[in-house]
């Protein structure tokens, strides 16, 4: 049962797949923040009575964000295959997975960022305005720094979600732990691989959550 050759073969497969998953999650988390963070800021600041009040922009963005979020990821994945092909040239592999992962995460990130920024007391914004701060200064010197502990928890939540989503992408050939579990575990009934994959995924999620918690706590502690 415990054949060393099979063991090292499996270890290598799992290691490669784990790295692919980490890679997909890292890249898609980063890319989704590059777009989602400004989007979240816009959602907050264009709201009524806020510093960049703009009802039209706020409503339209809100609708788009909700629309994308309401499509189940597995459907979204298939729906945007043509777009993925245009961008990456293929719809298979880790690079191809990054496209749907990122696009699906953007509206999610935007809402998370929005929630974090809304927690900041309006009085702090007013204090900055009373000193002559412009909108950009309010955003960069008040809203984002004040929300940093909550924003870093949001990054952890996003990354954890993307670990799960990346496994789904893996089932349609996206690479990473999802592909591994699907091909060897499901299609070839190699239950060992299935379980190892599950354990690695659990560990990965734990690690990300611990990292996020530690970062948030570190920032909060520094302010205490």
How many Cα atoms sit within 13 Å of 90 on the Cβ side? 10
- Answer yes or no whether residue 49 interacts with another protein by CB under 8 A: no
Rounded distance, CA 169 to CA 198, Å?
Answer: 16
* CB 213, min distance to another protein, A: 19
Question: Which x/- pattern over 121-160 shows residues binding another protein (rule: CB under 8 A)?
Answer: x-xx-xxxxxxxxx--x---xx--xx-x------------
Burial of 109 (0-12, 13-18, 19+ CB in 10 A): buried
Question: Which x/- pattern over 63-102 shows residues binding another protein (rule: CB under 8 A)?
Answer: ----------------------------------------
Q: What is the CA 136 to chain-centroid distance, rounded? A: 25
Rounded distance, CA 88 to CA 48, Å?
Answer: 40
Rounded distance, CA 48 to CA 187, Å?
Answer: 53
* CB 122, min distance to another protein, A: 10
Of 89 and 132, the one with the shorter C-beta distance to another protein is 132
Of 47 and 133, the one with the shorter C-beta distance to another protein is 133
Of 104 and 147, the one with the shorter C-beta distance to another protein is 147
**Cα 77-81-83 angle, rounded to 5 deg:** 115
The site for another protein (CB under 8 A) is made up of: 121, 123-124, 126-134, 137, 141-142, 145-146, 148, 222-224
């Amino acid at each position: 049962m415990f054949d060393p050759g099979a063991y090292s073969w499996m270890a290598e497969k799992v290691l490669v797949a784990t790295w692919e998953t980490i890679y997909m999650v890292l890249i898609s988390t980063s890319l989704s923040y590059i777009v989602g963070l400004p989007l979240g800021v816009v959602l907050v600041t264009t709201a009524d009575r806020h510093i960049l009040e703009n009802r039209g922009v706020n409503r339209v963005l809100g609708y788009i964000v909700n629309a994308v979020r309401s499509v189940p990821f597995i459907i979204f994945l298939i729906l945007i295959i043509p777009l993925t092909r245009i961008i990456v040239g293929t719809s298979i592999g880790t690079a191809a997975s990054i496209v749907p992962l990122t696009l699906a995460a953007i509206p999610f990130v935007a809402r998370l960022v929005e929630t974090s920024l809304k927690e900041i007391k309006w009085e702090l914004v007013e204090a900055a305005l009373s000193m002559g701060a412009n909108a950009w200064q309010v955003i960069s010197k008040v809203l984002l720094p004040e929300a940093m502990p909550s924003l870093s928890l949001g990054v952890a939540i996003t990354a954890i979600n993307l670990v799960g989503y990346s496994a789904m992408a893996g089932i349609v050939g996206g690479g990473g732990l999802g592909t591994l579990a699907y091909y060897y575990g499901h299609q070839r009934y190699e239950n060992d691989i299935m379980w190892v994959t599950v354990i690695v995924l659990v560990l990965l999620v734990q690690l990300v959550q611990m990292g996020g918690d530690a970062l948030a706590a570190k920032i909060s502690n520094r302010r205490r």
